[in-house]
Structure 1
Amino acid sequence: MSYLESLRVFVRVIELGSITAGGRDLRLSPAVASNRIKDLENRFGVRLLNRTTRKLTPTEIGRAFYDHARRVIDTLDEAEAMVSSFSGKPQGVIRLTAPLGLGRRLIAPLIPPFCHENPGVEFRLRLSDRNVNIVEDAIDLAFFLGEPADSTLKWRKIADCPRMLVASPEYLAAHGTPERPEDLADHNCLLLRYPRSPEYFWVLQTGEGPKKMMVSGRFDTDDGDVLTSWALGGEGIANRPQYEVIDDIRAGRLVTVLPEAPPMPAQFGSLTPHRRLQDPKVRMFADYAVRELKKVF
């Protein structure tokens, strides 16, 4: 493995916090990744990392070296992007992330056709309903529902994503159908939560304007598909994107709750890091994805 490749291993180990995670991200075994770090330390005759059984942290010189190594890799990636823009043949890896349900239904199906047209491109798709640090995780393109909080990222709006409150006919027969937003306080609301998530509430569209409703329930999860399955099982009321539940509504498995006061739509778009020159393959896939996704909404 070249010196430059060892630099990439070192950078990813620092960013992901462990040799195992850094190696996995680059498709290397922990042993190989560890050897790459040792090669760098032997080359310079200094310790770059402090290793304990519980924690891995950069030494003072390791932190300084990381800052320079990161800039070297960024510069090289931009140089490769420039060459690729002239060659017209996209090459290399695109790292994507998206929420679980959206990623499974809408993003994953886009990847094989793009790869068939561009055989030099590889994908690393990471799906999670938790917040992802795009910069630290070296993500090239993130699909996102909601309001992006990080102003240092480039936001590209794709569409407004309608949301719906839904429950099964069986749940409503047993517990009654809410007739006004305030009635939600008497129901088991199925909540999307994860560690360090903000206080949960639903914002509904009413004749008086947006209305914040504090809701509660006995079940919460960090997987949106689980919420839908609980709703289908008659466990409560869920707040879901329309594209995820429309087939269940048409089939009668779910019923729209408070259709006159639906949740506020979520902005659906993509996030990319600010770079002087965006990688052409990332731009190509982003443009292709936007064209296809606009057909859904």
Structure 2
Amino acid sequence: MSYLESLRVFVRVVELGSITAGGRDLRLSPAVASNRVKDLEQRFGVRLLNRTTRKLTPTEIGRSFYDHARRVIDTLDEAEAMVSSFSGKPQGVIRLTAPLGLGRRLIAPLIPPFCEENPGIDIRLRLSDRSINIVEDAIDLAFFLGQPADSALKWRKIADCPRLLVASPDYLERHGTPSGPGDLADHNCLLLRYPRSPEYFWVLQTPDGPQKMMVKGRYDTDDGDVLRQWALNGHGIANRPLYEVDEDIREGRLVQVLPQTPPEVAQFGCLTPHRRLQDPKVRMFADMAVRELKRFF
């Protein structure tokens, strides 16, 4: 393995906080990844990482070396992107991330045909409903559902995504149907939550403007698909995007609750680090995804 490849291993190990995770991200075994880092330490005669049974952190010189190595890799990636833009044959790896349900339903089906048309490109898709640090995780393109915060990232809107409050007919028969937002306090609200999650309230559209409703429930999860399944099984009221539950509503498995005061519309789009904007393969995938995904909204 070349010196440059060892740099890539070291950078990902620092960013992901573990030899195993860094190696897995580059499709290397933990033993190989560990040897690459040791090779760098032997090359320079310094310790780059502090290792304990629970934690891996860069030493002071390791942090400085990481900053320089990250810039080297970014510069090389930009150079490769420039060359591929002239060759007309983009190649390399695109790292994508998306929320779980959205990623399974809408993003994952786009990948095989894209890769078949572009055999020089590999796709690595990571799905999570938790917040992801796009820069630290070296993500090229992040699909996002919600209200994007001010950011140094480039935001590209795809569509407005209506959200609905839904429950099963069985749940509503047993617990009653809310007639106004205030009635939600008497119901088991199914919540998407995780450490530092923003969803501790629902914002509903009312004739008087957006109204923040503090909601509670007996259980919550960090997986949106679990929320939908709990709602289908009659366990409470969920706040879900329309594309996820429209078929359930048409088939009568779920009923829209409080249709006169639905949740605020979410924005659906993608975020890109500015340094990736000119990468032809990232731009190609983003253009294709925007074109294909608009038909779902």
Q: TM-score range by the shorter chain?
A: over 0.9
- Find the counterpart in structure 2 of residue 55 from structure 1: 55
> Counterpart of 1:253 in 2: which secondary structure?
coil
Deviations 1:77-103 (A, max 9, x none): 000000010011111110000000000
1:276 Cα deviation from its structure 2 partner: 7.3
1:182 Cα deviation from its structure 2 partner: 0.6
> Counterpart of 1:149 in 2: which secondary structure?
coil
1:207 Cα deviation from its structure 2 partner: 1.2
1:271 to 2:255 alignment = no
1:134 Cα deviation from its structure 2 partner: 0.4
How many residues are treated as equivalent by the alignment?
297
Q: Which runs of 5+ in 2 are unaligned?
A: none
1:8 to 2:4 alignment = no
The structure-2 alpha-carbon separation of the partners of 1:27 and 1:218, relative to structure 1 and needing over 3 Å to count, comes to same
- Find the counterpart in structure 1 of residue 104 from structure 2: 104
Matched AA of 2:219: F
1:277 Cα deviation from its structure 2 partner: 5.5
Question: What is the alpha-carbon distance in structure 2 between the residues aligned to residue 147 and residue 237 of structure 1?
Answer: 22
- Find the counterpart in structure 2 of residue 27 from structure 1: 27
Alignment of 1:162-173 (within 5 A): 162-173=162-173
Deviations 1:35-64 (A, max 9, x none): 001111111111111111111111111111
For structure 1, which segment, 194-203 or 166-175, has the greater mean C-alpha deviation from structure 2 after superposition? Answer: 194-203
The structure-2 alpha-carbon separation of the partners of 1:277 and 1:98, relative to structure 1 and needing over 3 Å to count, comes to closer
Task: Check whether the contact 1:99–1:129 (CA below 8 A) recurs between aligned residues.
Answer: yes
Deviations 1:139-172 (A, max 9, x none): 0000001122351111111111000000000000
The structure-2 alpha-carbon separation of the partners of 1:182 and 1:253, relative to structure 1 and needing over 3 Å to count, comes to same
- Find the counterpart in structure 2 of residue 68 from structure 1: 68
Deviations 1:109-142 (A, max 9, x none): 0101111111111110000000001011000000
Matched AA of 2:124: R
1:208 Cα deviation from its structure 2 partner: 1.3
The structure-2 alpha-carbon separation of the partners of 1:24 and 1:278, relative to structure 1 and needing over 3 Å to count, comes to same
> Counterpart of 1:68 in 2: which secondary structure?
helix
For structure 1, which segment, 147-156 or 164-173, has the greater mean C-alpha deviation from structure 2 after superposition? Answer: 147-156
Question: What is the alpha-carbon distance in structure 2 between the residues aligned to residue 131 and residue 199 of structure 1?
Answer: 12
After TM superposition, the score normalised by the length of structure 2 is 0.98
Alignment of 1:42-191 (within 5 A): 42-149=42-149, 151-191=151-191
Q: Which runs of 5+ in 1 are unaligned?
A: none
Task: Check whether the contact 2:141–2:282 (CA below 8 A) recurs between aligned residues.
Answer: yes
Task: Check whether the contact 1:190–1:238 (CA below 8 A) recurs between aligned residues.
Answer: yes
Deviations 1:194-237 (A, max 9, x none): 01223611111111111111111101000000000000000110
Task: Check whether the contact 1:81–1:277 (CA below 8 A) recurs between aligned residues.
Answer: no
Matched AA of 1:141: L
For structure 1, which segment, 53-62 or 250-259, has the greater mean C-alpha deviation from structure 2 after superposition? Answer: 53-62
Matched AA of 2:143: F
> Counterpart of 2:94 in 1: which secondary structure?
strand
Question: What is the alpha-carbon distance in structure 2 between the residues aligned to residue 99 and residue 150 of structure 1?
Answer: 20
Question: What is the alpha-carbon distance in structure 1 between the residues aligned to residue 51 and residue 176 of structure 2?
Answer: 58
Task: Check whether the contact 2:191–2:199 (CA below 8 A) recurs between aligned residues.
Answer: no
RMSD of aligned C-alpha atoms? 1.0
The structure-2 alpha-carbon separation of the partners of 1:144 and 1:239, relative to structure 1 and needing over 3 Å to count, comes to same
- Find the counterpart in structure 2 of residue 235 from structure 1: 235
The structure-2 alpha-carbon separation of the partners of 1:134 and 1:277, relative to structure 1 and needing over 3 Å to count, comes to closer
Task: Check whether the contact 1:203–1:263 (CA below 8 A) recurs between aligned residues.
Answer: yes
Task: Check whether the contact 2:164–2:240 (CA below 8 A) recurs between aligned residues.
Answer: yes
1:278 Cα deviation from its structure 2 partner: 2.1
> Counterpart of 2:263 in 1: which secondary structure?
coil
Matched AA of 1:7: L
- Find the counterpart in structure 2 of residue 259 from structure 1: 259
Identity %: 86
